[in-house]
Structures are given as structure tokens and as C-alpha cells.
Amino acid sequence: MKIAIASDHAGFGLKGEILKFLESRNIRTIDLGTYSEESVDYPDYAEKVADALTDGRADKGILVCGTGIGMSVSANKKKGIVAALIYSDYTAEMAAKHNRANVITLGARTMQKEDAIRYIDIWMNTPFEGGRHEKRVRKVLDIEKEQKEK
């Protein structure tokens, strides 16, 4: 598995901690920026991770901003992306189990580093349940298809 990760300036510090954690688990990563605390716009970085998934450079994505909200709303504009804002063990588990989220977003200003890392661990290690959830996730993706056809 390869994980693409990016942040804005607010998420830069936490992104570094997440990269250290993933590397300690021998998980391959692509760091798509930002590379300093200089102010940047979160949609630019959400798009970079979404594109890495779309063109096959990565299997999953992690995005970090101040709250995780900006990254979540931005990444979800991209075709094929199901980006879930994570803020607890339970949402981390459900994002994988029920929503098959291929991207998770985290708020560097809303959680402790240790919690963020635990959420990521849970999300990465929880399988999609399938069954009735398969149909629901497909319906989510169908919404974007219908939008494009109009």
C-alpha cells in the first residue's frame, strides 16, 4: 500500500509526525507538500492527493489542515474520492468499515498528535464491510456521475 499525504501550513507539523509513524511501519508514502509553515491554500493540496489516487500513484490519502474541514470538502469535489473527516476512534473505524473512505482528513488544531496517529492506524487496519455498504458507497459515487451528465 502506498499513501499520499499533504497538508496546508496549519497541518505541516502534524504531517511530519504522521510521516514518521508511517515510515516506522514500513508503509510507502508520497509527501505532496506543503513543506513549511508558510501560508498556503488547502484546496491546492487536497487536489494533489486526489490526483495521486486517480492516476494510480497512491492507493489511499491523508490530508491535514487546521480543522480537517477544508481538506475534506475540497477532496470530495474530485471524482472517485471519498474523503472522511476523522475525529475519534469510532469515526476512523467507520470511515473504513462503512464508507470505504480512500482519503481521511484530520485537524491539526483539533486533536493531539497521539490521537491522530491512532485514528490513522485504525483506518488503515479496518477492512470495508461490503454488503449493504457497497450499494451505499456506489450511490455516493453515482451522485457525482449524475452531476457530470447534466
Which residues are known to be catalytic? Answer: 65, 98
| DSSP-derived secondary structure letter, 11 | G
The residue assigned the cell 516506522 is: 24
Question: What is the closest distance, in whole angstroms, from the C-beta atom of residue 99 to ligand RB5 in the complex?
Answer: 20
Among 58, 61, 70, 119, binds ligand RB5 (CB under 6 A): 70
How far is the C-alpha of 44 from the C-alpha of 50, rounded, in Å? 10
Give the residue, chosen from 67, 76, 99, 102, that forms a contact with ligand RB5 under the rule CB under 6 A.
Answer: 67
Say how far apart CA 137 and CA 150 lie, in whole Å.
21
Q: Which stretch binds ligand RB5 (CB under 6 A): 15-23, 63-71, 86-94, 118-126?
A: 63-71
Q: How many CB atoms lie within 10 A of CB 88?
A: 13
Q: Is residue 8 a contact point for ligand RB5 (CB under 6 A)?
A: yes
Q: Which stretch binds ligand RB5 (CB under 6 A): 44-52, 60-68, 88-96, 133-141?
A: 60-68
Q: Which residue has the cell 470511515?
A: 95
Of the pair 67, 102, the CB lying nearest ligand RB5 is at 67
105 contacts ligand RB5 (rule: CB under 6 A): no
* Contact status: 65 vs ligand RB5 (CB under 6 A): yes
Tally of residues, the chain: 150
Residues 96 and 40: their CA atoms lie apart, in Å, by 29
Rounded Cα gap, residues 4 and 63, in angstroms = 8
Q: Considering only 30-38, 67-75, 78-86, 96-104, which stretch makes contact with ligand RB5 by CB under 6 A?
A: 67-75
